[in-house]
Amino acid sequence: MRLWLTPMVYAVVSIILGFGLPRLEHAYLTSYTLDVSVASVQAYLSAVASGMMVLTGIVFSIAFVVVQFSAVAYSPRLVLWFARDPVLFHALGVFVATFMYTLSTLAWIDRAGSGRVPLFSFLLVVVMLILSVLLFSKLVQNINNLQITNVLHMIGNRGRDIIRDMFQRFDEAEAADRKATKDPADRSQLGEITQTLRYSGEPRAIASIDIGGLVRRATQAEAAIVMVCAVGDKLVENTTILRVHGAKEILPDRQLMRALRLEIDRTFKQDPKYPIRLLVDIAIKALSPAINDPTTAVQAIDQIEDLLHRLGRRDLDAGYARDGNGVIRLIYPMPTFEDYLTLAFDEIRQYGAGSVQVMRRLRAALIGISDSLTKADRVAAVHRYLKHLDLAIERSSLDVEDRAMARHEDRQGLGLTRRSLS
């Protein structure tokens, strides 16, 4: 609803200006007039007003095409992302404002047979018309973002931003800091459960958690809060959200709920799984029998591999927060590297088992990720998954020669065979 307020603000401002500026000109700026015939100005303003209605219709048409195309070609979860483009709402607002202000200006042309054309009102219409054309050009240019390469790159960029903001690189953390943040809380020492918060309402997804706010409330009550639900989880009636341990006083449920941002669907904020989920959605839709586009799946794997490379070099043990004295006040679920690996490749492996191109690209991705990792447990997880992939290839419907080809890693899928030296 906040986005729809944008064109409403433009409309209200145009109404205020339409009632105010021409009256000010008529009362105090009578010496400033436009030396153009009244009939010409009226024809010009009429053309502008009618043209704005055409542009508004085109904007809605473009929005409809974007929504339909993204839902059918990519993923239904991308619909809101494209439909919430701020340029779309600013363009709609400027078009409506130009239309309404132009009508107001028309009413003051040759007012009471004066033969005058208010200069500043006319110039403002010209400026708004130029701005409308610029926004329309920007809107048409944004259609270029519907190309699959651009869509995948945009999703990958959002994922890279989240990873950079949420997780610290191993080589950037001091050994003492890592030790202080890696040791998880012993839940047996948190004390008894003094409070349980359950959800009541329509189904909503946890979009983000106000970690600082929960830590402050837990510190005030000398308690520890354990989140049962994670960012991205869907809350339904009577879902247990969190438990409070060892509190000296009861924390108001309303204050605890304010620390959670709930949305109808998942968002990118605090959820590095979501961009991977979107990339996987695009890949498996491309692998569906109705589309048969393994090259798009390979392009999606390019972005997924890059995200896993970055996750593999980050400290993912960030599932708890401490107060100023180092006491753990909040524990919240966070995925492990193996969880990310499973999310990234399981469905692509299952739906792409019959594609030599996809299997070769998956092998190349897994080998590349393994080579970049430094933690032994993560390397072991990738090796286990690689064996699982080889087993899936062996059990696939491919013939003997195709299975042998599928076991050769290839970063292009079908381009250049690379044999592992290990």
135-167: per-residue pLDDT in tens? 888 887 777 777 888 889 999 999 999 999 888
Amino acid 173: pLDDT:
47
CB within 8 Å of 102: residues ≥ 6 apart: 45, 48, 49, 52, 125, 128
Which has more pLDDT, 342 or 180?
A: 342
Which has more pLDDT, 31 or 371?
A: 371
Amino acid 284: pLDDT:
93
Confidence band (pLDDT; 50, 70, 90) for 187? low
Q: Which has the closest alpha carbon to 322: 197, 182, 176, 164? A: 182
CA distance 133 to 135: 5
Confidence band (pLDDT; 50, 70, 90) for 64? confident
Report the mean per-residue pLDDT for the chain.
86
Amino acid 420: pLDDT:
53
The size of the chain, in residues, is: 422
Which has more pLDDT, 349 or 139?
A: 349
pLDDT exceeds 80 at position 182: no
Amino acid 124: pLDDT:
92
Confidence band (pLDDT; 50, 70, 90) for 289? confident
Q: What's the whole-model pTM score? A: 0.78
The CA-based diameter of the chain, rounded to the nearest angstrom, is 91
Beta bridge partners of 262: 206
Find out whether 199 and 235 touch, Cβ atoms under 8 Å.
yes
Amino acid 165: pLDDT:
87
Which has more pLDDT, 210 or 115?
A: 210
CB within 8 Å of 360: residues ≥ 6 apart: 405, 406, 408, 409, 410, 413, 414, 417
CATH 3.90.1170.30 fits 147-335, yes or no: yes
Tens of pLDDT along 314-325?
888 668 888 888
Q: Which has the closest alpha carbon to 413: 310, 324, 319, 296? A: 296
Q: Where in the chain is the domain with CATH 3.90.1170.30?
A: 147-335
